[in-house]
Every structure is written in structure tokens, then in C-alpha cells.
């Protein structure tokens, strides 16, 4: 199980989904998420986050703002003894996206792109030990 993983969505699973959360002030962790993540980590599961970020596509916030919040979120998990291995995100929206973000990309859930990308990475970790 060295490369087994728990896949977590962000909004609604890690944090309360207040709609297009993109700053610390509106980021409220779901009760018990750190306990769950810590337990999985202690069982040798990698913690992987997969998240649609239509707020980027709609122009509500930038990829840089998303990355800053994500870095802070990952620091909170590490401090809780449950480091996140990787975060995958899809900044696209098939109808409401602006400019290059107007796209029905395979990375956007419910498409499997982010999960397949994570699986490929986990497989490569297994073969490069």
C-alpha cells in the first residue's frame, strides 16, 4: 500500500462550501477532516486533493490566489500531522469560463482527468523506488 491514496475533494469535504472560496477568511475546515486525514496518513495512504475551481474560470479569483490559499491549506494539514501529497485542480468551466478557461477539459470533474493524472503519478512513484 506504499502508493495507495485517499482522494479528497476540497469544497464541501475539506472546507465548508461557501461558494467560490478563495481566501483564508472564508475557508472553514470541516469538523473531523484532520482526524480522518491523519488516520489515513498513519495507515500509509497518500492524501490527494482533486478540486474543480470554476471561480478561476469565471474570473472571480486568479490561479495565483488559488495557489496561495492551497499552500496555506497544505500547511494546516502538515501541522495537523497529515501532509497532503499533491493537489490537482481544474480551472475550467464548459459554459461560464472566460477566455482560455472556457473549455470542457478532461480534468474537470465529473471527467476523470485529475484522478487519472494522480494514478499515473502514484504508479511512477512505485516504479522509481
Question: Which of the residues are catalytic?
Answer: 9, 11
Helix (H) or strand (E) holding 5: strand 5-8
Strand-pair partners of 102: 93
Please provide the size of the chain in residues.
Answer: 129
DSSP per-residue codes, 10-64? SBTTTB---SS--SGGG--BPTTHHHHHHHHHHTTPEEEEEEE-HHHHTTSS-HH
| Displacement of CA 2 from its chain's centroid (Å) | 20
Amino acid at each position: 500500500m506504499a502508493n495507495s491514496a485517499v482522494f479528497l475533494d476540497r469544497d464541501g469535504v475539506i472546507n465548508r462550501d461557501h461558494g467560490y472560496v478563495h481566501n483564508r477568511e472564508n475557508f472553514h475546515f470541516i469538523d473531523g477532516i484532520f482526524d480522518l486525514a491523519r488516520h489515513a496518513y498513519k495507515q500509509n495512504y497518500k492524501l490527494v486533493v482533486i478540486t474543480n475551481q470554476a471561480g478561476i474560470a469565471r474570473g472571480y479569483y486568479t490561479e495565483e490566489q488559488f495557489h496561495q490559499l492551497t499552500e496555506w491549506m497544505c500547511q494546516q494539514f502538515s501541522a495537523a500531522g497529515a501532509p497532503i501529497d499533491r493537489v490537482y485542480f481544474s480551472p475550467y468551466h464548459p459554459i461560464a469560463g472566460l477566455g482560455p478557461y472556457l473549455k470542457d477539459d478532461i480534468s474537470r470533474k465529473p471527467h476523470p482527468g485529475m484522478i487519472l493524472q494522480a494514478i499515473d503519478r502514484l504508479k511512477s512513484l512505485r516504479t522509481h523506488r
